[in-house]
Each structure stands twice: as structure tokens, then as C-alpha cells.
């Protein structure tokens, strides 16, 4: 059965790790907004997740990388906005 992510299990895992990192990053931003006393640490963690996403994206084909760019840009924007608000 063909996989929507590509032909190999390794490729599927690469895609799923990026998806999971995006979810984690947005969750950390949400937690930072709701927890002012921990916001610095949480936003730092979100920034590290963002950096990991950028590294993982470089391992993809350009067309696949492009499909994540809007979400990645939105995560960066959310981190920056939350950092200004804290």
C-alpha cells in the first residue's frame, strides 16, 4: 500500500517528526502564554524546537520542505509575539 509520505519508512518518520515538532512548538508557546512565571523557559524550549525543525527540513526534498514553510513561519511568528508579550 503506498504511503502518502513517500516510499520508505525512514522518509515517513522524517515527515512525522517535523509534524510532531510543529505541534510541540505551538504547545510550548500556548503554555508560555498561560504561565508567565515559566514563559522564558518555555519560549526558549520552543525556539530550540524551531531550530530542530529547520535542521529536519533540510533533509527533505525542496517541494516537501516548501509544504511546511507556512506552518514553520507561523511558529516563528508565534514565538516572537509571545516573547514580546512576556
Which has the closest alpha carbon to 79: 58, 49, 59? 49
The pLDDT mean for the chain works out to 91
Q: What is the pLDDT of residues 9-60, one digit of tens each?
A: 888 899 999 999 999 999 999 999 999 999 999 999 999 999 999 999 999 9
Distance CA 24, CA 3 (A): 24
Which has the closest alpha carbon to 57: 44, 43, 47, 72? 72
User: What's the pTM?
Assistant: 0.89
Q: Band of the pLDDT at 5, cuts 50, 70, 90?
A: low
Amino acid at each position: 500500500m503506498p504511503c502518502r509520505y513517500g516510499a520508505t519508512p525512514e522518509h515517513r518518520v522524517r515527515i512525522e517528526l517535523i509534524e510532531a515538532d510543529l505541534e510541540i512548538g505551538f504547545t510550548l508557546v500556548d503554555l508560555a502564554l498561560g504561565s508567565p512565571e515559566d514563559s522564558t523557559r518555555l519560549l526558549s524550549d520552543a525556539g530550540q524546537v524551531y531550530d530542530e525543525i529547520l535542521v529536519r527540513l533540510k533533509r527533505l526534498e525542496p517541494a516537501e520542505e516548501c509544504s511546511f514553510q507556512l506552518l514553520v513561519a507561523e511558529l516563528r511568528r508565534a514565538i516572537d509575539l509571545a516573547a514580546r508579550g512576556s
